[in-house]
Every structure is written in C-alpha cells, then in structure tokens.
Amino acid sequence: MESAEDWHLARALLEWQLDMGVDECIGDTPVDRFVASQAARAPRPAAPAAPAVIRHELDPVEVAQAAAQGASTLEELRAAITAYEHCELRQGARHTVFCDGLPGAKVMILGEAPGRDEDREGRPFVGRAGQLLDRMFAAIGLSRDGETPDNAFYITNVMPWRPPQNRDPRPEEIAMMLPFVQRHIALARPEVLILMGNISCQAALNKRGILKLRGHWTKAFGIPALPMTHPAYLLRQPHAKREAWSDLLEIRAHLDGLG
C-alpha cells in the first residue's frame, strides 16, 4: 500500500509537468515533431473551382427565325411579331403595323416602314403616299378593298414599327425583321411581289439604288418581283410619275399573262 507521501509527490510532479507545457503521455511509438510541423505549414491544395457559367446572349435574328417558323397562319405571325422584343423600334411605336388588303391576292406590295399616319392607325400606307398608291393601282384594276385575288392587292412593310423621325431602318433592324418578312410572303402566297422603295429592295435583294432597279423584273423570295419608286418619292418628284405609270403597265401585262 502506497503511503500518502508517495501520492502527494506524484501529484506534485504531474502539476509541475503541466506547468511546463506537457500535454501528452509518452507513447509506445516515437513521433517526429519536426516532420509534423512541416506538414502543418504546407499549403493545402486549393479546392477545385466551380465550373464557369457560360452566358450566351440571344441572337435577335435567330429568335426571329424561330418565332417566324413557328407561325402557321397570318394571325399567328401577327402575334409573333407583336411579341418580338428584340427590336427597339417597338418601344416608341403606338401600333404594330402588320398588313392591309386581301390575303391571297396575286399582287403583294412590300413597303418600307410605317410613317406617322400609319403608326396612328395601325395600317400600312394610309397617309398621302398611301392615298397616291391606292390611285396608282386602281388605274390597273387593283384595290386593297378588292374581293377576289384578281382585283385586289395585299400590302405590308419590311418594318412593322415606325422609326423615330421617319429615319431609314438600320441594317441590323432590317436583318432581325427579315425572317418575319419571308414567312409573311410564304403565308400570303402572292404570285407577284412589288418592292416599293429602297428599303424593300435592300431587304429582298440586298441592293439599293431604286432609280436604277425600278422597272426591271427580278426574283425575290422565289417569286417574280418588280422594284418601283415609293409614292412618297413621286409626291416630291412628280416628273417621275411617267416611269411609275410604265411600271404599273408592266404589272398589268404580267398579270394578264398569268391569267
């Protein structure tokens, strides 16, 4: 049996070791403290980085192509154009100007863009230029109010929204609306396409210079097309009406040949 002095001595020795910083008992296996210290200081491998998130910006032309191809009727196409949010022109427009006249008419007129009057009414060619256009085509027996494909015409624009201050549409604006124009023509199924003005020729033929292009038959979107000077130009340059009358006679002769 141990004496009380042995117990007190052992306790005093343990306390002295604690005061000296001893925090472990002697083990059976030796420990290399130097190696352990180096391992503690070694940099830890970085955690694998999270995979980068690649953000793809939407291509307005691709969005327009998908929306246009998804339309199987003219009303669905109108809704698709109205819902299209990638053209800034729609932000300042009162209406989406879609069409007028008789769908299925043999003659389809492709204008440029709405003006002030068209934006107010939501119909293409209703201002002074539109009134002149109606008189021009009435002279060869065609009207937007016609009831049959033979005596009516159908009309739309490259751009469904009015550009500010009636400026020309920019190339990128034309490009994003071109899929809708192509689908519009495919659904309306005209036999003759009238390209009314420079912007229409740029969209359909990728050409400008209406005074050289007018009066010469070509093909656009797979159908016969005739460029003509815009009625707004004829209002400013009345002497050009003689050439416009010649173009109208060409249209009448072409239609009579189809008949």
Instruction: Return the CATH number of the domain spanning residue range 60-258.
Output: 3.40.470.10
Domain residue ranges of the chain, discontinuous segments joined by + = 60-258
What integer best gives the mean pLDDT of the chain?
Answer: 89
Dihedral of alpha carbons 12, 15, 17, 19, sign:
negative
Expressed in angstroms, the distance from the first to the final Cα of the chain is 133
Structure tokens at 122: 């939501």
Answer yes or no: pTM beyond 0.75. yes
pLDDT digits (tens, 9 = 90+) for 85-112: 999 999 999 999 999 999 999 999 999 9
DSSP 99-119: -EE-TT-SEEEEE----HHHH
Q: What is the pLDDT of residue 258?
A: 82
29 DSSP 8-state letter: S
- Helix ranges (H only) for the chain are 4-19, 33-41, 60-69, 74-83, 116-121, 128-138, 171-188, 198-205, 210-213, 231-236, 241-258
> Which pLDDT value is given to residue 255?
96
What does the pLDDT look like over 16-31, one tens digit per residue?
566 666 666 666 666 6
